[in-house]
Amino acid sequence: MDPAAIFQIASIVGLFILISIIMWAVPVRLWIEANTASVRVGIGSLIGMRLRKVSPPAIVRPLITATKAGLDLDINELEAHYLAGGRVDRVVGALISADKASIELSFNQGAAIDLAGRDVFEAVQVSVIPKVINTPKVAAMAKDGIQLIAIARVTVRANIDRLVGGAGEETILARVGEGIVSTIGSADTHAGVLENPDAIS
């Protein structure tokens, strides 16, 4: 085979590989998408994300959503949260919901709640619309030896400021269960509990 033809084929293959690497390293489509949405993200920032093993769409798309919703977020904060193992899209969704519901929630608060293992988006929803949770069946015995089985419905509303380190759903259910057992156990007769179930609350 002619050496010139081999060189041409090798050049075409090499050029194709080079273009593929550039297309992977520089998400041009995402850059165009961001700039079209008035989110100024440099090509260098996107390449830097790739080198730091950060998924550019996981940062840029939530940033576009936040910008469209009127929030001013820093791309470096979003990236830092991603690298810390946080869910950027959930935090941004929570910030948008909080903003629309006039609830004060900073990015740092939302990130801290997310990194604590709580669903920050759900927490904002519950602080706006209280959530009703049902306890499992709780068996307790009154002083007259009759066992009662009770189920309670508990309405909870999240307090964003006290969410980190506060009681979760399981803790609330456990405390309510303890209260039911204590109330029924201190009743003289089971009939008294049945006649006045509000006493359990």
Whether residue 165 has pLDDT greater than 80: no
| 77: alpha, beta or left? (left if phi > 0; alpha if psi -120 to 50) | alpha
**pLDDT attached to residue 166:** 66
More confident residue, 197 or 201: 197
Distance, CA of 55 to CA of 187 (rounded, Å) = 60
pTM above 0.75, yes or no: no
More confident residue, 191 or 76: 76
* CA-to-CA dists, residue 173 to 15, 154, 169, angstroms: 63, 8, 6
As given in the structure block, the two tokens for residue 50 are 């790739």
With bands split at pLDDT 50, 70 and 90, how would you rate the model's confidence at 148? confident
The predicted-structure confidence for 23-51, as pLDDT tens digits, reads as follows: 666 677 888 888 888 888 888 888 888 88
Whether residue 6 has pLDDT greater than 90: no
Whether residue 21 has pLDDT greater than 90: no
Q: Mean pLDDT across the stretch 100-105? A: 87
